[in-house]
Amino acid sequence: MSTAHGARARARIEVTAAIKDEARKQLAAEGAAKLSLRAVARELGMVSSALYRYFPSRDDLLTALIIDAYDSVGEAAEAARDTADAAGPVQRWIAVCEAVREWAFAHPHEYALIYGSPVPGYIAPDTTVPPASRVGLVLIGIVRDALRGPGLTMPPLPAELRPEAERMAADIAPDLPPAVATALVAAWAQMFGLIGFELFGQFHRVVEDRGTFFRHGAGRLAAGVGLR
């Protein structure tokens, strides 16, 4: 077991969690750029150098927060999918999109951390890949179900894109037609375009009734993938 190694290992887990919690608090309050190791340590009543026993650098702390954020938004998407279980594919798609949007507005700085500009010089380790895929996998699942249920309207696929479309489909969802997989990836990115523009203020003085606007946009994305 992981608790087999006595009191020290247990303490380590607790301290690590406390550091992440405090860091998340500061992240939510001030954003990633103002997240300070020294401030975290100060708040926890420890000296700054002691913190380096748990996270070798500020970037490592950020990486931990990034993974947690991906898991958090992924969980929100999965929960929305499960709640809208009985509804049709389009309704479930929209429900998931709205859940992601709501998560983004509840955790703006964490959203910025994972979907905004990457911290300069920072390179995400491969550890972040699986958590980062969760939202995409939810969307893939909805389309997959639709394929076995009411079917899909096949999106267009020009000849020049066919090789890449087949490669992508084989990579991310071998049971989906290449045209659908391609449209899905595009819709996935476009959804975050809508959310990001709204969250980062680009809709200022442009869109007012943003909830309705987004709901309609999400529906059109679903149509673009072929859901009906």
Partner DNA sequence: ACTAAAAAGAGAGCACTGCTCTTGCTTTGG
Partner DNA sequence: CCAAAGCAAGAGCAGTGCTCTCTTTTTAGT
Q: How far apart are CA 225 and CA 228, in angstroms?
A: 9
118 binds a second copy (CB under 8 A): yes
Residues 167-226 that bind a second copy (CB under 8 A): 167-168, 171-172, 182-183, 185-186, 188-194, 196-198, 200-203, 205-209, 212-213, 216-217, 220, 224
* Of 66, 103, 92, residue with least CA distance to 225: 92
35 binds DNA (CB under 7 A): yes
Q: How far apart are CA 195 and CA 172, in angstroms?
A: 23
* Of 208, 211, 212, 214, residue with least CA distance to 194: 214
For a second copy, the closer CB: 55 or 214:
214
Q: How far is the CB of 28 from a second copy (least distance, A)?
A: 11
Number of amino acids touching a second copy (CB under 8 A): 58
Residues 124-153 that bind DNA (CB under 7 A): none
Among 27, 32, 37, 69, binds DNA (CB under 7 A): 37
Look at the alpha carbons of 113, 117, 120, 125 in this order and tell me if their dihedral is positive or negative: positive
Tell me the helix, strand and coil percentages in the chain, rounded to 5.
75, 0, 25
Contact residues: DNA, CB under 7 A: 5-9, 11-12, 15, 35-39, 46-50, 52-54, 56-59
